[in-house]
Amino acid sequence: MPYSYYFSKLIDPNPMKKILVFAFLLVGISAFAQDRKPNKNVGGQFSLGVRSTISLFSDAGSSMGTGAGGQFRIRLYNFMNTEWFGDYLMSSIGTIGTRTDYHIGWSVMFYSPKQKPFKKYHPKPYFLTGHCFDYTRIAGNNPFYQDPNHSVASRWSSAVQAGLGFHIPFCERVDLSLSAQYMFHLGKDITAVTRTAVNGDEFLYIDKEEASINGHLLISFSLNIRCADLWHDHQKKGGARKAAPDPDGQNPKHIEQ
Which residues sit at the interface with other proteins, rule CB under 8 A?
A: 11, 13, 15, 19, 50-52, 63, 66-68, 88-90, 92, 94-96, 98, 120, 139, 141, 143-144, 146, 170-171, 173-174, 176, 199, 221, 223, 225
Of 174 and 244, CB closest to other proteins? 174
Of 201 and 207, CB closest to other proteins? 201
Q: What is the 3-state secondary structure (H, E, C) of 76-139?
A: EECCEEEEEEEEEEEEEECCCEEEEEEEEEEEEEECCCCCCCCCCCCCEEEEEEEEEEEEEEEE
- Cα→Cα distances 32→26, 28, 41, 113, 244, Å: 10, 6, 21, 34, 21
* Residues 169, 125 contacting (CB under 8 angstroms): no
Q: What is the number of residues in the chain?
A: 257
Of 143 and 252, CB closest to other proteins? 143
- Distance in Å, CB of 251 to other proteins, minimum: 21
Residues 6+ apart with CB under 8 A from 119: 169
- Distance in Å, CB of 217 to other proteins, minimum: 17
Residues 6+ apart with CB under 8 A from 251: 117
- Distance in Å, CB of 131 to other proteins, minimum: 23
- Cα→Cα distances 130→160, 161, 177, 217, Å: 6, 5, 17, 14
Of 2 and 13, CB closest to other proteins? 13
Of 90 and 217, CB closest to other proteins? 90
- Distance in Å, CB of 210 to other proteins, minimum: 27
Of 67 and 105, CB closest to other proteins? 67
Which region holds residue 184: left if phi is over 0, alpha if psi is between -120 and 50, else beta?
A: beta
- Distance in Å, CB of 94 to other proteins, minimum: 4
User: How far is residue 75's CA from residue 215's CA, in Å, rounded to a whole number?
Assistant: 28
- Distance in Å, CB of 120 to other proteins, minimum: 8
